[in-house]
């Protein structure tokens, strides 16, 4: 530590600014809600820490010394920084941080609509890449995020103490193909129609909930889901599909995808039944952020439920919330 540095008391700095602006210790004490003696003591401590006199006392009140005048703008800056630092961790002022798998999926679209409905709530949508539910819960417990959208593969009672989860958004799957694919002209397909076709989903991370989802989907309907090749991102996937007569992929109905018009890609609904990805919201019950309560209430009325007879989800999927 710099031997010339002083450990400044923010309360003493606040008292200094109050006296500099009010000029009288009695008025400064009233402004700060403390006694006049406490103001005098704080100023004395600050002057001792700085090693200079900040005021001269006159019949017209306290007058700033040359050193006091030099210190005043820095003291005001220090108080502004202190106010921002405190505000950053106050639930009613802190940015609401929500984790999603990526910014193209259904929960990201839901959060976009939430922000449009509640623009006064500061929202930070983050992506904790390639993590599973346990790591998301770690981030929630540490305070790194306020909530996460994940598919929960364990019963709620097996989550950690105080951690809550609710299945809030089912995203129906569609088949995405290029124009030369044998199913490209279909208005809808069933899971049985997909048997024998190559469904390419690169980038599935073993041990994650979405890996468990696609494993169970393939087993339930006898599908061939290929994970070969590195994941070069969505744009590369779309490039390959546009030219391939054999490869297709699965995507959520609410996943936002854009491609050049000449790709002529087809999004084909999957029905009888429709596989849906069961997004759950995970949060800690002791999280006091008012924006989190507002988000949960918003989701309750914004979700799009599906009848169980028309859909397929893995056996481990949580029951739908607020059904």
**Domains in the chain, start-ordered, CATH in brackets?**
10-89 (1.10.10.10), 96-312 (3.40.190.290)
- Per the prediction, the chain carries an average pLDDT of 87
Q: What is the mean pLDDT of residues 17-38?
A: 91
Predicted confidence band of residue 1 (pLDDT cuts 50, 70, 90): very low
Decide which of 103 and 260 is more confident: 260
Q: Is the pLDDT of residue 17 over 70?
A: yes
Q: What is the mean pLDDT of residues 59-64?
A: 89
Residues 320, 305 contacting (CB under 8 angstroms): yes
Residues 166, 239 contacting (CB under 8 angstroms): no
Which one, of 143, 159, 37, 35, lies nearest residue 99 by Cα? 143
In this predicted structure, what is the pLDDT of residue 160?
Answer: 85
Q: Is-above-0.85 flag for pTM?
A: no
Which one, of 128, 72, 131, lies nearest residue 100 by Cα? 128
> For residue range 94-132, what is the model confidence (pLDDT) as tens digits?
789 999 988 888 899 899 999 999 999 989 998 876 567
In this predicted structure, what is the pLDDT of residue 3?
Answer: 47
Residues 111, 100 contacting (CB under 8 angstroms): yes
Q: Is the pLDDT of residue 5 over 60?
A: no
């Amino acid at each position: 530590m710099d031997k010339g540095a002083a450990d400044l008391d923010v309360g003493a700095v606040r008292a200094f600014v109050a006296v500099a602006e009010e000029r009288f210790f009695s008025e400064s004490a009233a402004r700060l809600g403390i006694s006049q003696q406490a103001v005098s003591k704080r100023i004395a401590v600050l002057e001792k820490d700085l090693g200079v006199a900040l005021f001269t006392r006159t019949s017209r009140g306290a007058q700033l010394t040359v050193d006091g005048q030099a210190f005043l703008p820095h003291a005001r800056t220090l108080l502004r920084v202190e106010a921002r630092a405190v505000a950053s961790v106050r639930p009613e002022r802190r940015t609401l941080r929500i984790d999603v798998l990526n910014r193209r999926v259904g929960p990201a679209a839901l959060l976009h609509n939430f922000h449009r409905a509640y623009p006064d709530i500061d929202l930070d949508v983050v992506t904790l890449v390639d993590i599973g539910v346990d790591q998301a819960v770690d981030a929630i417990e540490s305070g790194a995020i306020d909530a996460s959208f994940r598919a929960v593969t364990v019963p709620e009672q097996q989550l950690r103490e105080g951690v809550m989860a609710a299945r809030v958004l089912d995203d129906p799957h569609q088949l995405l193909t290029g124009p030369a694919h044998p199913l490209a002209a279909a208005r809808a397909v069933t899971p049985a129609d997909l048997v024998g076709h190559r469904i390419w989903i690169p980038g599935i991370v073993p041990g994650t909930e979405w890996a468990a989802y696609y494993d169970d989907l393939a087993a339930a309907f006898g599908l061939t889901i290929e994970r070969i090749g590195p994941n070069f991102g969505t744009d590369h996937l779309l490039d390959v599909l546009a030219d391939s007569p054999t490869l297709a992929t699965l995507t959520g109905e609410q996943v936002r995808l854009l491609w050049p018009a000449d790709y002529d890609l087809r999004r084909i609904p999957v029905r009888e039944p429709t596989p849906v990805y069961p997004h759950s919201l995970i949060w800690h019950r002791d999280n006091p952020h008012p924006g989190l309560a507002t988000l949960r209430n918003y989701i309750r009325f914004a979700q799009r439920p599906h009848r169980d007879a028309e859909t397929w989800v893995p056996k481990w999927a949580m029951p739908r919330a607020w059904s």
